Amino acid sequence: MWLAKNKDEREFTGGKTDWEAAARIAEQCSGFEPDDEDEQTADEAVSCYNCRYRRWTVKSFSCLLPT
Amino acid sequence: MTIYIAIDDTDSVDIGATGQSANALRKIIKDKGWGECQPVTRHQLLLHPDIPYTSHNSSMCFVLEHSPVDVQDLIRCAAEFLENTSAPGSDPGLCVAVSTQIKDVERLIAFGIKAKKEIVSKQEAYQTAEYCGIHLSEHGGTGLGIIGALAGVALRMTGNDGRFQGKMQLKESGEPMAIGEVIENTEIDEVQSIEGQTLRPDDIIIIGDKIKTVLLDGKRKLLVYRKNNAWHTCTNKHLQAY
């Protein structure tokens, strides 16, 4: 589900609307931290789309947590 | 006197949230006796690899009306607040605009719309602010937050951009509520379907888990969608475009 952009950055390949995968990945991630409520876009509370460490990109988001 | 106040880039990946900073500033303004500010709106700007935003490139704006405040005192207060509270490594910017003193509203709004579609420079932001007679200042780091701050004021002035900060409490999730009751008991001005149909006071909606409102036609609107022959309040997913 990830595309390595450089050694410090990986982009989610599911785009901005793969709600199921974003929730599944976040459920298994020990680094998930909910972002401010105003910045959350998923209805699932635990989702990469709602994580403080996701950085939105043009097509998707990058995970800022160290791999 | 109507004053638009916008801030941007006060947070870092680990610390803070610009929406929370805007709300804290609203409280300070109220506590100083300068008046009650209108709710904060969040405005999404361009996402582009060449823009060094923290994680979402959004700015926050609110409005102070009928205030006795000396604008220079307000600017000093907001500047001090940003310098004292912004996250280390952030690039905070402040914009303060008195509506009656804006010399070219069209140019200002054009700047805001451009910042949603194209990369704009600090220089362009300063030139626009100076031409329009608007205060714009940086308060740490690269100061790139001035671009979002100016765009935040511009987009709020359009009356057609962004989501209101925070979520509203109406009733328990799953409960029905008449539109008339919603309007009477909340700051919501109108309830509208995502297709643009305005609901009547006797229409019934089903309340969802999280109630968010948007700025449309200069009003605070609650958006709803049709499912199983009933109106439901929109979820985060429906509001992604706002």
Mean of pLDDT values over B112-136 = 98
pLDDT, one tens digit per residue, over B196-236 is 999 999 999 999 999 999 999 999 999 999 999 999 999 99
Mean of pLDDT values over A26-43 = 95
3-state secondary structure chain B: CEEEEEEECCCCCCCCCHHHHHHHHHHHHHHCCCCCECCCEEEECCCCCCCCCCCCCEEEEEEEECCCCCHHHHHHHHHHHHHHHCCCCCCCEEEEEEHHHCCCHHHHHHHHHHHHHCCCCHHHHHHHHHHHCCEEEECCCCCCHHHHHHHHHHHHHHCCCCEECCCECCCCCCCEEEHHHHHHHCCCCEEEECCCCECCCCCEEECCCCECEEEECCEEEEEEEEECCEEEECCCCHHHHC
Mean of pLDDT values over A18-28 = 97
Chain B residues close to A43, C-beta within 8 Å: 209-210, 235-237
ipTM of the complex model: 0.92
pLDDT of residue A7: 75
Chain A residues close to B173, C-beta within 8 Å: none
Chain B residues close to A32, C-beta within 8 Å: none
pLDDT at position A24 over 90: yes
pLDDT at position B127 over 80: yes
pLDDT at position A1 over 90: no
Q: For B47, which of A35, A40, A56 is closest by C-beta distance?
A: A56
Q: Which residue segments constitute the domains of chain B, with CATH numbers given? A: 2-163 (3.30.70.2200), 167-241 (no CATH)
